Amino acid sequence: MGNFQPDLFFQGDVVCDQCNSELGKTVEKHFAERSFEGLIARLLLRRKTGNQSPVILYDSSLLKFHFSSETVIEYDPLFLLVKGALDKVGFTKDPILLLKKDNFYALIFAEEVANLKSQNKIKKLRYKIRNFRKGTETAEWIGDRDDSAEIVQAALTNIGLKSGSSSESVNDDEHPKLIRSSFMAFQDVDVNSARFVTKVAFEYFSYCADKSGVLSNAFSEELKPVRDFIKEGTGNAKNFVSVSDNNFVAQKVKQGNNHYFVAFETVSGNLIGKVAFMDTIAYQVDFGKSPFSLANNRIGNGHALNLTDKKMKKMYAGKTPVLSGNEFSVYNKG
């Protein structure tokens, strides 16, 4: 999901490298591959990183759609969400092929695939989309170039898909597909997704605690349950993570931004983390009873993490640190 400056990932005496690596390979990978925020993040990060695969796979099993009673759908509504995300990151000019089978989707950057000459790379791509090659439920492409159709055709040939599986662009202005009234999209939060969201909020809190000279509070007995939940998945995920804003599509695709937002504060004696990725779903994380006995009503901090330049910006710009001038002070909520 990206690295940032300063480095917020657990390191040194905060969490061992092995634990952080294992969490990256499990809960972070799970969130990146199965959440819609993860899909958008992978699209955004792809623009800034070279040597990326021309195929992005997305498991939409956590995504749920709700339609008004009079809605008529002629194709899968996820393509509207994907098109909105592609619009946001500037990918709609070059042709992209979108495939669906069951809950799985493939986003194929057609020009890159069409230009592949290496038979070894083509073979690897064909293996990556092997389930789609056995039959797709829906195949669409988007692209504003005059030669988009030819590029898509060449890409289909390279990856061994039938040429008739894609024939027109998604929601073309001249030939719009029928979708009546409104629909809403909600995303379930499973255990591993909750663990990842909790990890993001807790590592931010730990970083601020370290910069404030109170890192021991992150290892307090009060916060042991949340640490165990992150590391082992023990406990009920619903006791740790709740969603305050889950509907991220209504009428039209909501255009998110390219920021992660993360913060924490004390509420009724509990330490509460807050996380949102690209202005989609707002998560609230209950760490447990606050380990701070003094200045309890002054505990808190928040930053926005920019996926484009990989830097952070303070959210509480108008607040003055109570006990220090440190931007990451935990005593920072006015």
Q: In this predicted model, what pLDDT tens digit does every residue of 214-243 receive, in sequence order?
A: 888 988 999 999 999 998 999 999 999 998
Provide the domain count of the chain. Answer: 2
193 and 174 within one domain: no
173 and 95 within one domain: yes
Task: Say if 64 falls within a structural domain.
Answer: no
The token pair that represents 145 in the structure block? 């170039």
201 and 243 within one domain: yes
174 and 191 within one domain: no
- DSSP class of residue 12? T
Query: What's the rounded Cα separation, in Å, for the pair 27 and 196?
Result: 5
208 and 283 within one domain: yes
**What's the pLDDT score for residue 74?**
57
The token pair that represents 178 in the structure block? 């029928």
Task: Say if 126 falls within a structural domain.
Answer: yes
138-142 and 104-109 as β-strands: parallel, antiparallel, unpaired?
A: unpaired
Task: Say if 21 falls within a structural domain.
Answer: no
In the listed set 129, 160, 179, which residue is the last one of a domain according to the structure?
A: 179
Residue 83's domain comprises 72-179
Residue-wise DSSP of 34-95: HSHHHHHHHHHHHTT-SS--SEEEEE-TTEEEEE-TT--BSS-THHHHHHHHHHHHT-SSS-
282-289 and 270-277 as β-strands: parallel, antiparallel, unpaired?
A: antiparallel
211 and 301 within one domain: yes
Pick the closest to residue 12 from 198, 173, 203, 143 (CA basis).
203
Query: What's the rounded Cα separation, in Å, for the pair 334 and 179?
Result: 47
160 and 94 within one domain: yes
Going from the C-alpha of 85 to that of each of 36, 91, 113, 180, 273, the distances in angstroms are 10, 9, 21, 21, 26
Q: Judge whether 113 and 126 are in contact, CB under 8 Å.
A: no
Query: What's the rounded Cα separation, in Å, for the pair 136 and 76?
Result: 12
Residue 50: strand pairing partners: none
Task: Say if 45 falls within a structural domain.
Answer: no
201 and 82 within one domain: no
Q: 264-306 pLDDT, tens per residue?
A: 998 888 999 999 887 678 899 999 999 987 656 678 888 888 7
**What's the pLDDT score for residue 295?**
56
170 and 268 within one domain: no
Pick the closest to residue 253 from 329, 197, 315, 182 (CA basis).
182
Task: Say if 77 falls within a structural domain.
Answer: yes
Task: Say if 259 falls within a structural domain.
Answer: yes
In the listed set 179, 214, 246, which residue is the last one of a domain according to the structure?
A: 179
Task: Say if 46 falls within a structural domain.
Answer: no
268 and 198 within one domain: yes
Task: Say if 175 falls within a structural domain.
Answer: yes
For residue 101, with 0-12 CB atoms within 10 Å meaning exposed, 13-18 middle and 19 or more buried, which class applies? Answer: middle
138-142 and 241-245 as β-strands: parallel, antiparallel, unpaired?
A: unpaired
242 and 157 within one domain: no
In the listed set 133, 148, 179, which residue is the last one of a domain according to the structure?
A: 179
308 and 197 within one domain: yes
Q: Judge whether 184 and 65 are in contact, CB under 8 Å.
A: yes
pTM for this one? 0.81
pLDDT band at 310, cuts 50/70/90? confident
Q: 38-75 pLDDT, tens per residue?
A: 888 887 777 655 667 889 999 988 888 776 666 565 55
